[in-house]
């Protein structure tokens, strides 16, 4: 064991490690013994020398180590068997979701919450997309690539590590084919029996917002319980919520997005599911303006969906982000018919569920709409949140019913 570099913590700074939180911040560290390379395996010890955990060293990040194992000091979590077992466990947990064949895309590995900090693996049918987000997983990329091919037998293993968080680890963006055939321009997937085209090279995240699957299904259910609903799908991307709403029997859908390309793909997704384009209106524009215009045109809807991109990237952004969330929620609330439903989301980790509810409350108060919470939403179950890692919960949503 002595061959591995050691991190020695300050006195009384070992609590989060003992509670198995996977992030060790630089402020807790008294000294580092040895010269760990980025991503190197390190042993974490308390100030009095007791072994606490194994982690991967990140020289550049405030998160100085990502912890992976709390077993005794003689158990060295470096061999392929250790990572194969972690991957197998994560992949097996998703099998029920994929079992009946009506869903062919999901997140297979959700990083910290699946015990593999910094590794995201998404499946789109035969195409598997991977993101290496930490120095630890990036240093072991060859091993993970091999294990993923061995365990998943994909036609394609493609990398989309073109994300900002890599900068904090001093890693450059990386993208491209890792194994197998080049991915097709459009990968066709099924989600709850509905068809979508996914561009894994250029699409957002790894191509699709898999984390909203369960919430899209909720919208379908809510529409199905009503008759001839009109839907405003704000921040529509490639029309995920629109397709589900039409599957539930919506009479008309209005999509709003700044991206003409996303709206174009949304059209293709309608056609894939046999829905008539005549019932769907696309508005290319900034939601903050478009929602105001719709109000001045005296438009109203039975269901409004608000699924904006991340507004708060750090704690320092929270105030500004809160104003943004409040504004769009005010605009959305004004557009709802009495008895209508607002499905409103925030995917900013820095905005807590509690704060988000307060923001929506403030919005309703300001526009004088009386509303009730009739549902709470989070990310889909293939994006689990380890109890040791509450930071893993980033997506939160409220279903609000407009009383009057």
**In this structure, what DSSP letter does residue 4 have?**
S
Structure tokens at 52: 């606490």
Question: Does 260 engage in binding with ligand SAH (CB under 6 A)?
Answer: no
- CA angle 344-209-259, nearest 5°? 80
Asked whether the beta carbons of 328 and 287 are under 8 A apart, the reply is yes
Work out whether 247 is an interface residue with ligand SAH (CB under 6 A).
no
| Separation between Cα atoms, residue 139 and residue 403, nearest integer Å | 54
**Considering the complex, what minimum distance in angstroms separates the CB of residue 327 from ligand SAH?**
11
Structure tokens at 117: 């900090």
- 212 near ligand SAH, judged by CB under 6 A: yes
Per-residue contact track with ligand SAH, 267 to 306, x per CB under 6 A?
Answer: -------------------xxx------------------
- Of 106-135, which residues contact ligand SAH (CB under 6 A)? none
- Residue 309 touching ligand SAH (CB under 6 A): yes
Site residues for ligand SAH, 215-244, by CB under 6 A, read: 235-238, 240-241
Q: Give Cβ neighbours of residue 216 (< 8 Å, ≥ 6 apart).
A: 191, 192, 240, 241, 243, 244
Under 8 Å between Cβ of 156 and 173: no
If the CB atoms of residues 55 and 240 are measured against ligand SAH, the closer one turns out to be: 240
Number of residues engaging ligand SAH in binding (CB under 6 A): 18
Site for ligand SAH contains 57 (CB under 6 A): no
Using rule CB under 6 A, residue 248 touches ligand SAH: no
Of the listed pieces 124-132, 223-231, 256-264, 369-377, which binds ligand SAH according to CB under 6 A?
256-264
Among the listed residues 258, 314, 323, 338, the single contact to ligand SAH using CB under 6 A: 258
HEC profile of 134-202: CHHHHHCHHHHHHHHHHHHCCCEEEEEECCCHHHHCCCCCEEEEEEECCCCCCEEEEECCEEEEECCCC
- Which of 198, 262, 336, 363 is the binder for ligand SAH (CB under 6 A)? 262
Contact indicator for 133, 116 with CB cutoff of 8 Å:
no
Helical packing angle, 213-224 and 240-247, nearest 10°: 30
Nearer to ligand SAH, 83 or 235 (CB): 235
- Which of residues 256, 321, 332, 335 is near ligand SAH by CB under 6 A? 256
Among 145, 251, 259, 388, the residue binding ligand SAH under the rule CB under 6 A is: 259
Angle between helix axes 353-366 and 318-334 (nearest 10 degrees) is 50
Active site residues: 347
For the CB of residue 221, give the shortest distance to ligand SAH in the complex, in Å.
16
Give me the residues that bind ligand SAH (CB under 6 A), please: 209, 212, 235-238, 240-241, 256-259, 262, 286-288, 307, 309
């Amino acid at each position: 064991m002595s061959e591995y570099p050691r991190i020695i913590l300050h006195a009384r700074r070992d609590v989060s490690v003992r509670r198995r939180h996977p992030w060790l911040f630089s402020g807790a560290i008294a000294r580092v013994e040895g010269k760990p390379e980025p991503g190197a395996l390190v042993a974490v010890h308390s100030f009095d020398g007791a072994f606490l955990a194994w982690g991967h060293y990140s020289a550049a990040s405030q998160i100085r180590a990502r912890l992976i194992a709390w077993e005794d000091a003689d158990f060295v979590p470096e061999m392929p068997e250790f990572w194969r077992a972690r991957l197998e466990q994560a992949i097996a947990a998703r099998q029920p979701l994929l079992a009946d064949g009506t869903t062919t895309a999901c997140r297979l590995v959700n990083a910290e919450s699946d015990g593999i900090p910094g590794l995201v693996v998404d499946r789109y049918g035969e195409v598997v997309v991977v993101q290496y987000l930490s120095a630890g997983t990036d240093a072991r990329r060859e091993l993970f690539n091999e294990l993923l091919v061995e365990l998943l037998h994909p036609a394609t293993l493609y990398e989309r590590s073109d994300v900002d968080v890599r900068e904090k680890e001093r890693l450059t963006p990386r993208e491209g084919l890792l194994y197998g055939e080049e991915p097709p321009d459009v990968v066709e997937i099924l989600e709850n029996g509905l068809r979508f085209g996914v561009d894994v090279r250029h699409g957002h995240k790894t191509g699709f917002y898999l984390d909203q699957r369960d919430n899209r299904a909720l919208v379908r259910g809510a529409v199905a319980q009503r008759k001839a609903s009109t839907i405003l799908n704000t921040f529509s991307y490639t029309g995920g919520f629109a397709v589900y709403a039409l599957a539930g029997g919506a009479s008309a859908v209005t999509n709003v997005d700044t991206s003409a390309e996303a709206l174009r793909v949304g059209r293709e997704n309608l056609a894939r599911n046999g829905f008539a384009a005549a019932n769907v209106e696309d508005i290319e524009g900034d939601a903050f303006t478009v929602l105001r215009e719709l109000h001045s045109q005296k438009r109203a809807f039975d269901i409004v969906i608000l699924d904006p991109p991340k507004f708060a990237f750090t704690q320092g952004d929270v105030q500004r982000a809160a104003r943004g969330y409040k504004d769009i929620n005010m605009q959305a609330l004004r557009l709802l018919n009495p008895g209508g439903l607002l499905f409103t989301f925030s995917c900013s980790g820095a905005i807590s569920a509690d704060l988000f509810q307060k923001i929506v409350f403030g919005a309703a108060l300001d526009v004088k709409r009386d509303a009730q919470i009739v549902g709470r939403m989070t990310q889909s179950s293939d994006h689990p949140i380890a109890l040791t890692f509450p930071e893993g919960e980033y997506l939160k949503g409220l279903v609000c019913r407009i009383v009057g």
